[in-house]
Amino acid sequence: MNKPLYEQMNIIDKDYILSKLEQFLLEDSPNGDPTTELTVDIEKNASGSIICEDECVFAGEQILNALNDDFQISIFTKDGTDLQKGQKIATLEGNARQLLKLERILLNLLQRLSGIATLTKKYVNIVNPSGIKILDTRKTTPGLRLLEKYAVKIGGGYNHRLDLSSGLLIKDNHWVASKENFYKIIRDYNMKLPLQVEVDNENQLLDLLNYKVDAILLDNMEPEYAKRCVDIIRAKNKSIFIEISGGVTLENLSDYIIEGVDAISSGALMHQAQNQKLKLEFIEA
């Protein structure tokens, strides 16, 4: 198996997490929180427990750890842990007003990331014996890309390119929009960034194999057709990274476990993931 083309999202910078939380808090309470300000004393402290209400894979430990400047935090589970219904994830203790203001933002994030990690693990469990990697895509929620890609890693998946600037992925719309000789562009590229090209059929593939590329994406192919293309690639080059994408679901994923394939990517890891249900329960003093 060839290594992933891109750096993996294993750690999220604390300052980045705090800046995102600040952005989300501004969206949720642009002019303060009058309910809490009316009912809760400004000096009041409180403790709350985050509790899982679904069976899921937990993702969000780094988000909780980023709050340690404002709250005393005890975390009882690690990223990637299979949680049971009713299991306590963490407790937070600090200013009651701050905790109430943060509650919904924090739960929304943890629920979203745990949903992605849970679905990713289902994909990973199917392909694990083969060594094929499950890749995410750029089909992420605007503003949440780093966090969602982190959740994929927690679920056992791998990260494709983070953004358009990270590498070249030439797709069918680039072929249509280009005014140049496409293969001349590929031939003259100086390989400063990873170069991957999407192909839809065997003829495109045969032409492409005359040029130097880092990776080939086999797009929207039936399993047997994809296998034929993989065999063609591997007969000529063992080191090209081969990715399959398009139309792959949990139901048909096993059909794409093909010898010679390095990875299978799926936007479903994001757009089909269901938020997992969590709650924050305040603890009476």
In this structure, are strands 88-95 and 45-52 parallel, antiparallel, or unpaired?
Answer: antiparallel
Could you confirm whether 122 is annotated as catalytic?
no
∠ at Cα 107 (110, 67), nearest 5°?
80
Is residue 53 part of the annotated active site? The answer reads no
Catalytic residue (one of 88, 104, 145, 277): 104
112: which 2 tokens? 């979203």
Question: Residues of 225-247 as b/e, b for ≥16 C-beta within 10 angstroms?
Answer: ebbebbeebeeeeeebbbbbbbe
Q: Which of 122, 138, 171, 228 is catalytic?
A: 171
Q: Name residue, tokens 């927690």.
A: 154
Catalytic pick from 79, 103, 136, 219?
A: 219
CA pair distance 79, 64, nearest whole angstrom: 11
Catalytic residue among 14, 44, 88, 139: 139
Residue 171 annotated in active site: yes
Q: Choose the catalytic residue: 61, 136, 148, 198.
A: 198
Is 198 known to be catalytic? yes
User: Please, what is the angle between helix 14-28 and helix 145-154, to 10°?
Assistant: 120
Q: Is 219 a catalytic residue?
A: yes
Residue 42 CB neighbours (<10 A) = 9
Please list the active-site residues: 104, 139, 171, 198, 219
